[in-house]
Copies of this chain bind each other. A is one copy, B any other.
Amino acid sequence: MNVKDDRNTQRITRRLTSVQLIVLFYVSAVVISTILVSLPFAHRPGVELSFVDAVFTAVSAVSVTGLTVVSTIDTFNTTGYFISMFILQFGGIGIMTLGTFVWLLFGKKIGFRERQLIMTDQNRSTFSGLVRLMKQILGLILLIEFIGFLILGTYFMKYFPTWQEAYIQGAFASVSATTNAGFDITGSSLVPFAQDYFVQFINITLLILGAIGFPVLIEVKEYLIHRGNFPFRFSLYTKLTTFTFFALVLIGTLFILVFEQGNFFQGKTWHESFFYALFQSVTTRNGGLATMDVSEFNNATLLGISSLMFIGASPSSVGGGIRTTTFAIALLSIYSFAKGKNTIKVFNREIDQQDVIRSFIVIVTAGIICFFAVILLIRFEPFHLMEITFEVASAFGTTGLSMGITSELSTPGKIIIIALMFIGRIGIFSLLFIIRGKEVKDRYQYPKERVIIG
């Protein structure tokens, strides 16, 4: 066996191990969470949670989606809140870690710089690298959450009778926002804060920090530390995902503002309209919190929001969906093709052909999966196409917004949504990697032949 063969074998082993790690993580996280949310002492008196509802709640929490079949406030007591927070925390951080890790393992040709930035080392074993990465992410997320908790908890004394309640609400709100979980213990999301722009601003900041992607946070941290000392170059990933992220927020805000003129915004001031539009736009990136009942929007707006949820957040973040980079690369590729260019250039870098194909595979696969989910749900559930489309996009994007049909779904319907949250969470790319097994070496070749396209 020569060196090259040996390396190939090693690579395959490492891949299989990481696939097993991912599956192991999610399955055990869901099992443990199902048990935890089923514990009677976490419930309010007299509450019974059916098995499918417990699984739904567990998957929704582990995947930090935030869709709920039971009202959090009516079902869980304070112990239950802390258990939920623990699951969200664990889910969110696990997701970020695995998302980053999968990329490190499968994304070929990663430079030394990127690897250094994410603090892993190819020569270390899979497991110790994972632990190191997780520690880094845990530290960063806990820091963000702690600052959020201090600000929101202190500020909430204005709203709640005791400081204990204010800080419990502050802790839950901070964790829920930073992990983009979208769970709430007010019973009505952030609707009570529809006029409180400060709470909204803090929430928007936390939502964005959670959804912008872990490598972005690390690079920004590095930049701030070494600023001025030596020339720092942000990676293409960071530039692309950050640009797309904020472009989507901006487009979403403008879209909602324009399409709800004369409808939801009738008779509202400009700053009310602006904050409603901004918050609901940011929340589609992945938050799932809302300052209003989204079903008050008209169908065109709801469809637009559905598409934004489908796109989702940055990869290696707590968010789901097809991911911002995937969407950006597809658009860039179409644009370059329409311009007659053979290569795709952006931010003074060239996009790899492999990444282009992968992006399209992710988008089309996601589209097909969501389409089948809609067809099955519309056949067996008594809801409108709009409500079902919205619910499917929300589950796949692990956003957690709903037009209110979640708790009324039949058991098969709930299982479909559970599956979508799960798939949206691990991502199409990882999903395909999980089912693909080991890479098959081509042993034979056929002649190439062109066909007529579209």
Contact = CB atoms under 8 A, between A and B. Distances in A.
State the main secondary structure of chain A at its contact with B: helix
A345 B442 CA distance: 10
Contacts of A365: 334
A295 to B, nearest CB: 14
A350 interface: yes
A440 B339 contact: yes
A139 interface: no
A299 interface: yes
Contacts of A359: 453-454
A315 B355 contact: no
B316 A452 contact: yes
Contact of A236 (B107, B337, B386, B449): B449
A103 interface: yes
Interface string A288-328: 00000000001110011001000000011000001101100
Interface in A170-208: none
Q: Which of A237, A351, A360 has the most CB of B within 10 A?
A: A360
Contacts of A337: 357-358, 361, 432, 436
Interface string A363-380: 111110001001110110
B362 A454 contact: yes
Contact of A446 (B108, B316, B350): B350
Given A339-B436, A342-B442, A307 B371 contact: yes
Interface residues of A, number: 90
B358 A357 contact: no
A303 B447 contact: no
Contacts of A350: 445-449
Contacts of A107: 450, 452
Copies of this chain per assembly: 2
Contacts of A385: 299, 303, 384-386, 389
B338 A451 contact: no
A90 interface: no
Contact of A454 (B352, B429, B454): B429
A443 to B, nearest CB: 11
Contact of A451 (B237, B330, B348, B428): B237
A427 interface: yes
A454 B428 contact: yes
A228 interface: no
A356 B350 CA distance: 19
A105 to B, nearest CB: 12
A107 B365 CA distance: 26
A91 interface: no
A446 B371 CA distance: 38
Q: Which of A111, A354, A376, A448 has the most CB of B within 10 A?
A: A448
B378 A454 contact: no
Contact of A453 (B325, B437, B439): B325
A329 interface: yes
A241 B449 CA distance: 14
A164 interface: no
